[in-house]
Structure 1
Amino acid sequence: MSDLARTRAILADLVAFPTVSADSNLQLIAYAGDLLSSAGARLSVSLDPSGTKANLFATIGPEGDGGIVLSGHSDVVPVEGQDWSSDPFTLTERDGKLYGRGTCDMKGFIAASLAMAPRFAAARLRRPLHFAFTYDEEVGCLGGQALVAELAKADIKPSVAIVGEPTLMGVIEGHKGCYEYTTEFTGMDGHGSQPDKGVNAIEYAVRYIMRLLELGEELKLRAPAGSRFSPPWTTVQVGKMAGGNARNTIAGQCSVEWEMRPVHTDDSDHVKAELAAYVDDVLRPAMRKVCAHADIVTHVVGEVQGLLPVSQSEARDIVFELTGAHEAELVSFGTEAGLFQSMGMSAVICGPGSIAQAHKPDEFVEIAQLDACLGMLERLQQQLSAKD
Structure 2
Amino acid sequence: MTSMTAHPRLTEAKDHLEALVAFDTVSRNPNRPLIDHMAAHLEALGADITILPDETGKKANLVARFGPADKPGLVLSGHTDVVPVDGEAWTSDPFSLEEREGKLYGRGTCDMKGFAACVMATASDLAQTDLERPVYLCFSHDEEVGCLGAPAIAEHLKAQPVLPEFAIIGEPSMMKLVTGQKGKIAMRATVTGSGGHSSFAPQHVNAIEYAGRAISMIQERGTRFCEEGPFDRDFTVGHATMLTTMVEGGVATNITPDLCAFTFELRSIAQVDAEAEMQALITQVQETLLPAMKAISAEADIRFERIFSYPAMGDATNDRAFQRYRPILPEWGGKVSYGSEGGVFEIQGGIPSIIVGPGSIEQAHLPDEFIEISQLEACLHFLDEVTGMLSRASTDMAAQ
> Is the shorter-chain TM-score for this pair beyond 0.5, marking a shared fold?
yes
Aligned with 1:39 (options 45, 48, 61): 45
Aligned ranges 1:235-250 → 2 under 5 Å: 235-250=241-256
Aligned-residue offset at 1:318: 5.5
Give the letter for the 1:369 counterpart. Q
SS at match of 1:21: coil
Aligned to 2:124: 118
SS at match of 1:45: strand
Give the letter for the 1:217 counterpart. T
Deviations 1:108-128 (A, max 9, x none): 000110111121011110011
Which stretch has the larger CA shift, 302-311 or 364-373?
302-311
Give the conservation status (yes or no) of the 8 Å contact 1:65–1:159.
Answer: no
Aligned ranges 1:1-388 → 2 under 5 Å: 2-153=8-159, 157-224=163-230, 227-264=233-270, 266-314=272-320, 316-317=322-323, 320-323=326-329, 325-342=330-347, 343-387=349-393
Runs of 4+ in 1 over 6 A off after TM superposition: none
Q: CA RMSD in A?
A: 2.0
Task: Output the CA distance in 1 between the equivalents of 2:338 and 2:380.
Answer: 24
Task: Output the CA distance in 2 between the equivalents of 1:247 and 1:48.
Answer: 45
Task: Output the CA distance in 1 between the equivalents of 2:119 and 2:227.
Answer: 43
Give the letter for the 1:70 counterpart. L
- Cα distance 1:370–1:30, how it changes in 2: closer, same or farther (>3 A)? same
- Cα distance 1:347–1:33, how it changes in 2: closer, same or farther (>3 A)? same
Task: Output the CA distance in 1 between the equivalents of 2:224 and 2:390.
Answer: 48
Give the letter for the 1:243 counterpart. G
Task: Output the CA distance in 2 between the equivalents of 1:345 and 1:187.
Answer: 46
Unaligned runs of 5+ in 2: 1-6
Which stretch has the larger CA shift, 16-25 or 176-185?
176-185
Give the conservation status (yes or no) of the 8 Å contact 2:270–2:313.
Answer: no
Give the conservation status (yes or no) of the 8 Å contact 1:165–1:335.
Answer: yes
Identity of aligned residues (%): 40
Give the conservation status (yes or no) of the 8 Å contact 1:304–1:338.
Answer: yes
Task: Output the CA distance in 1 between the equivalents of 2:70 and 2:250.
Answer: 57
Unaligned runs of 5+ in 1: none
Task: Output the CA distance in 2 between the equivalents of 1:27 and 1:131.
Answer: 17
Task: Output the CA distance in 2 between the equivalents of 1:326 and 1:360.
Answer: 27
Deviations 1:188-229 (A, max 9, x none): 222222123332221111010001111112223432366322
Which stretch has the larger CA shift, 196-205 or 8-17?
196-205
Give the letter for the 2:119 counterpart. S
Which stretch has the larger CA shift, 280-289 or 209-218?
280-289
Give the letter for the 1:339 counterpart. V
Task: Output the CA distance in 1 between the equivalents of 2:200 and 2:161.
Answer: 61
Task: Output the CA distance in 2 between the equivalents of 1:153 and 1:194.
Answer: 62
Task: Output the CA distance in 1 between the equivalents of 2:189 and 2:232.
Answer: 33
Give the conservation status (yes or no) of the 8 Å contact 2:185–2:265.
Answer: yes
- Cα distance 1:347–1:314, how it changes in 2: closer, same or farther (>3 A)? farther
Which stretch has the larger CA shift, 47-56 or 147-156?
147-156
Deviations 1:286-337 (A, max 9, x none): 22222222221111122211111244145654654335x3435112211111
Give the conservation status (yes or no) of the 8 Å contact 2:143–2:341.
Answer: yes
- Cα distance 1:291–1:64, how it changes in 2: closer, same or farther (>3 A)? farther
Task: Output the CA distance in 1 between the equivalents of 2:37 and 2:50.
Answer: 14
Aligned length: 387
SS at match of 1:259: strand
